[in-house]
Amino acid sequence: MELIEKVVVYPEQSTLKKRIFLSNIDLCLVVYQDTVFFFDPPTSEMSFSEIFNKLCNAFGKLLVHYDFMAGRLVQSLEDSHRFEIDCNDAGIVVIAARTDRKLSEFGDIFAPNQDLEELAMFLQGKQEEEIDLKEKPLLSVQLTQFACGSLALTAHYNHCTLDGLAVRDFGANLAALTRGDSLIVVPFTDRTLLRARNPPRISYPHFEYGKATNIENLFSVRGTSGGINVRQNVTQNQIQILYLSPQQIASFKMKAIKDCNLKNVTTFHVVAGKIWKARTIAIKMSDDQVSTMLFPVDIRKRVSPELPYGFAGKDEIHMRIFLTKKCNALVPGFARATVKELTELEDAYHIIKVQEGIERLDDEYIKSSIDWLELNKGVPRREDSFSLVSGLRLGIGDQHFAWGKLKCSTPLTVKPGLVMLLPAAPGDGGLNVCLDLLEDQMYIFRRIMLEF
């Protein structure tokens, strides 16, 4: 891998100097994520240098609207145990790199694998154990050209800035600007709409969260210290992949509908229920332990008033432009049961528990959870639990950049305690279950998942 160029991109125009409040939902996700986006060789005669310049210019325009992405995390002026974003136009890092390997040599690009980590080689520098967040860009990207002409764009970003849906919109805007078009989605950045109530009012027990400790947490560094220096995980883990075909998924759903007499069953409900049972048994939790599965739920239309989505017009090619909240509006739903219940009861029980975990997230429950986080400075639960994240319905593959249509995207790795559902190859209709298990555990997991 050869480093070609490394630049800092600033907003094209100076932006208003301010600090942005981070909600308790944002503060649960102060952790860096790595996602890579793949493109086939450009169909035009555009050179790699021209593509890189278009990318940098588009980012310069985009950061005028996403000024917080060009800022830095700092301690809150009001509470030293909170972070906020200083919109100081410090910029993002954009890197051009080239490899003499072909894309086909990197294995399956529709699921995480160790070879893909090379595509972030120049983003993280040395794998230091301690990072100073106020000095670290909230977004760094590496554009890599393969020997075959294909391209990869790797994004290293702090999750407190954007959730999965907001990342999709950010990418759609970036694509439009590389083409010379206008924004498709106009960001609305006021996160105080998800501020805790005063005084906080906890109406429910919140098994989806736990208090932050000084140990490493999958999601956030919140509560680890009063300062801005935090330790990060540099441990390599073993990623396992289980492919589920469209036929297998259809059989799971048919069984749930026919044999279990369930209604409104989705692919997520059925697959999540099986994953919950299979992983819990595979890691050999004892019968009396309570297993908790977390899964993010979009609350944009579940709170009252709804978070802002407003029609703002359309451009000359009739693309709709929305005013939309650009922050984290996903909170953890959960399913919870003893290992004995998961092992002995029918699949219908697991599916109903997943459905209940989504349905309980009404306006009062969500506000109660935000208030719980305010009082307890908590993070998503880690003890006897895992998180299931689905990327099945993001629709990222519809994005068209100046150099071509996005082929696919995938996270670079799967952290311990995380299970990811990712679409398989375009047109396949299947999905990949990606998780961190030992070989003997994966054998048990696979056997239970494929049982009918």
CB of 85 within 8 A of CB of 134? no
| Measured distance CA(323)–CA(330) in Å, rounded | 18
pLDDT at 193: 84
Q: How far is C-alpha 103 from the chain's CA centre?
A: 24
pLDDT at 314: 29
| 52-89 tens-digit pLDDT | 999 999 999 999 999 999 999 999 888 877 899 999 99
pLDDT at 1: 92
- DSSP-assigned beta bridge partners for residue 381: none
pLDDT at 325: 46
CB of 443 within 8 A of CB of 185? no
pLDDT at 222: 56
Question: What's the predicted TM-score (pTM) here?
Answer: 0.88
Q: How many domains does the chain have?
A: 1
| 16-26 tens-digit pLDDT | 999 999 999 99
DSSP 352-376: HHHHHHHHT--HHHHHHHHHHHHHH
pLDDT at 234: 45
Q: Which two tokens stand for residue 411?
A: 């996270």
pLDDT at 312: 25
Residue 373's CATH number: 3.30.559.10
pLDDT at 402: 95
Nearest to 327 by CA among 16, 58, 27, 59: 27
HSE toward the beta carbon, residue 153, CA cutoff 13 A: 24
| Measured distance CA(310)–CA(372) in Å, rounded | 30
HSE toward the beta carbon, residue 401, CA cutoff 13 A: 30
C-alpha Rg value of the chain to the nearest Å: 22
Range of the domain at 441: 2-449
pLDDT at 305: 75
Stretches where the chain sits below pLDDT 50 are 126, 215-219, 223-227, 231, 234, 309-325
DSSP three-state, residue 330: strand
| Measured distance CA(73)–CA(123) in Å, rounded | 18
pLDDT at 10: 97
CB of 388 within 8 A of CB of 267? no
Long-range contacts of 2-6 (CB under 8 A, 24+ apart): 2/97, 2/98, 2/99, 3/95, 3/96, 3/97, 3/122, 4/48, 4/52, 4/96, 4/97, 4/98, 5/52, 5/95, 5/96, 6/93, 6/94, 6/95, 6/96, 6/122
Q: Pseudo-torsion of CA 320, 322, 328, 330, nearest 10°?
A: -60
